[in-house]
Structure formats: structure tokens, C-alpha cells
Amino acid sequence: MSDRRLLITGGAGFIGVHLARRLTEDGSTRVTLVDDFSRGRHDPELDDLAASAAVEVVTGDLTERDAWTAIGDGFDGVYHLAAMLGVKHVLNRPHEVIRVNALTTLNMLEWAATGGARKVLFSSTSEAYAWTRHFHELPIPTPEDVPVSLTDLTNPRSSYAGSKVFGELAVIQYCRANEMPYSIVRYHNVYGPRMGTDHVIPELFLRARGGQNPLVVYSPEHIRAFCYVSDAVEATLLAMDSPRGDGETFNVGNDREEIRIEDLARRLLVRAGIDVDIDPRSADDPISRRCPDVSKARALLGYEPRVDLERGLELTLAWYEAAAESLAAGPAA
């Protein structure tokens, strides 16, 4: 089998590094990771990948067309993971969230359409339909075919969701117009090693480890379904590689386990061996329960989440315990 050439945008980020590691396991795939390093960072995991002859790491601002020219063309596929996200960015710089996410996606599509890549995979989010709950009672677990909508466009929180809805629309219409295969994956509460410090799991762990007592737990009654990163990567690979994924949008998550945030915090504390009290507090999050329906990915791709929450927490907390000092010294991955 001849070498495949694949591009991962946002390749130094959380899912990007896990995806690249998985792609290069078979020895027949060459991967280029491109990142502007505004969120992703050079660390031992990325350095280990970069040491491989199968991996090239490129620094580039993908909002600039010249960066795409420098990447080259002829890739078998592009995993478009690059995006500006995170509550702090969304609340403080919503205009930048829109600018970065829109321009990187449009530039990617123009590049792909002129010979950059044979197939496009776009990473979206459950936020694409989260605002719909203001208008409609959605089924839970929630399938891919529910309406997507926005409410108050003056609310900075709409910037990320809006940029991803726009991204899905742009990918569908550009790829149809240029007869390019594409797949869209909507990630739901993906977690695991190297996910940064803003996600609820590492954020709770690091505060508890740092001695916060009682441990403040926001939105304790809210319910989520968490998906370990290796399962998310597997679904992403299946969506790219299977012809049955062409032209489809897939929820990526784990519908086998739902958990209240307070119960998650208590399980995390037990797993970490930390004995502190819990201080439950309300927060500005209108989505009280979120769980994806992944039956479409099961039927078309053969996807099945395999890592349960107990094992996922074990692996994640072990990584964060080992990395705690380095995380305190630099920006989140």
C-alpha cells in the first residue's frame, strides 16, 4: 500500500495530536500538522510526533491564504480541526472567534477545491444545535437531523456556535459545488490526556489537587455524556475513511453513560484520592442535559464507544497528575 498524505489543521491541539498518533501507527501514512500555536503547544507528546519521519509540523496562520500555498497540495484528505474556542475567547473576543473560524474554513475549502485535498472532514460541535432548545423541545439522545438555530446574536456566546453552523454550511455547499467528498463530525464532550485546563474534568481535578476546599462545582444538576478521546478519534477516522461517511454529518460521543456534574466531581475525587467537600453553585448554562444519539455512526460506520468513564478518568487523571507542574508553567494545550 502506497503512503497516504493527510493534513490536520489545528494539529498541535488536543484531538489533533491524538489523531496524528493514531494515523501514523500503521507506518503507511504521512501526516502534516499545521497550527498557529495560539492554543496548541510544543510539549513532549508533540515533540515525540515531530521526531517521526512520518510527521511534519508546520507553523502557520490559516486565516492567511499564503499559509495554505506554503502547505502544498495533493493530500488524500484534510482533517479541519483548527478553530478558536473556549469560554474566555467566546466571551471576551467573539469577533475574533468569528473571524478565525470563518476565514480558516473558507481558505481551507478554496485550497481543497483547487487540488489541496481529495476529501474534507470538518470538525463541528454539539453547540451547532444547542441554541435550538430555546425554540423546540429536542429529543435526548439528540440525533443529527434536529434543526440548527441561533437566538440573540448580540450574545457573545453565539459566536462559536454561529461559526460552526456557518462552517457546516460552507463545507456542504462548497464540496457539493466542487464535487468533493466530505464528512462532518460533531464532537460531544470529548475528554482525555492533554486537553488543556479549561474543560470541566481537568479544571475540577486541578482545583481539588491545589487544595480548594470546599471544591466549587458549577451546574451540579446538569447532565452530560462524556466521550474519551480515543473513541472520538476512532469515529473521526471512520468518517474520513468509509465511503458511507461521504456527504454525512455524524454525532461523535458516548451515549452509553450519562452523569450529573456533581456526581462526576465526586467520582473524580474518589478516583484521585482527594478528600474535600463540595460547594454546588448555579452557572449561566442553559443546557441542562446533553447526550448525542450516535445510532447513525453505528449504522453507517460501525462506530462504538469502548472506553467507559471509569477507565477514561483513570487515564486522564494519571496524565494530569504527571503533567501538573508543566501545566502550571505554560499555556494549555
For 32-74, write each residue's pLDDT tens digit. 999 999 876 789 999 999 999 999 999 999 999 999 999 999 9
What are the CA-CA distances from residue 106 to residues 12, 15, 97, 126, 173 (Å)? 21, 21, 14, 21, 11
Q: Are strands 75-80 and 4-9 parallel, antiparallel or unpaired?
A: parallel
pLDDT for 280 beyond 80: yes
Q: What confidence score (pLDDT) does residue 175 get? A: 98
Cell (9 digits) for 237: 477516522
Instruction: Using the predicted structure, report yes or no on whether residue 332 has a pLDDT greater than 50.
Output: no
Q: Give dist(CA 333, CA 80) in Å, integer.
A: 17
Question: Taking residues 240-246, what's their average pLDDT?
Answer: 97
Architecture of the domain spanning 4-190+228-256+290-306: 3-Layer(aba) Sandwich (3.40)
Reference 287, options 142, 97, 100, 190; nearest CA is 142
User: In the numeric block, which cell numbers belong to residue 321?
Assistant: 497528575
**pLDDT attached to residue 41:** 75
d(CA 218, CA 279): 8
Alpha-carbon distance of 201 to 204, in angstroms, equals: 5
User: Which residues lie across from 260 on neighbouring strands?
Assistant: 223
pLDDT average, residue stretch 216-235: 97
Write the pLDDT tens digit of every residue in 117-146.
Answer: 999 999 999 999 988 888 888 999 999 999
Average pLDDT of the chain, as a whole number: 94
Cβ neighbours of residue 176 closer than 8 Å, sequence gap 6 or more: none
Return the domain boundaries, the chain.
4-190+228-256+290-306
* Greatest mean pLDDT range, 83-97, 142-156, 213-227: 213-227
Phi-psi region of 189 (alpha: psi -120 to 50; beta: other; left: phi over 0): left
Which pLDDT band, with edges at 50, 70 and 90, does 331 fall under? very low
Q: pLDDT digits over 174-212, tens only? A: 999 999 999 999 999 999 999 999 899 999 999 999 999
Torsion angles phi and psi, residue 203, rounded to 5: -65, -45
User: pLDDT per residue over 82-125, tens digit each?
Assistant: 999 877 888 889 999 999 999 999 999 999 999 999 999 999 99
Lowest mean pLDDT among 170-174, 185-189, 323-327: 323-327
Residue indicated by cell numbers 488536543: 14
Percent of the chain predicted with pLDDT > 70: 97
Cα 142 from Cα 160, distance rounded (Å):
20
In contact, 259 and 290? CB cutoff 8 Å: no
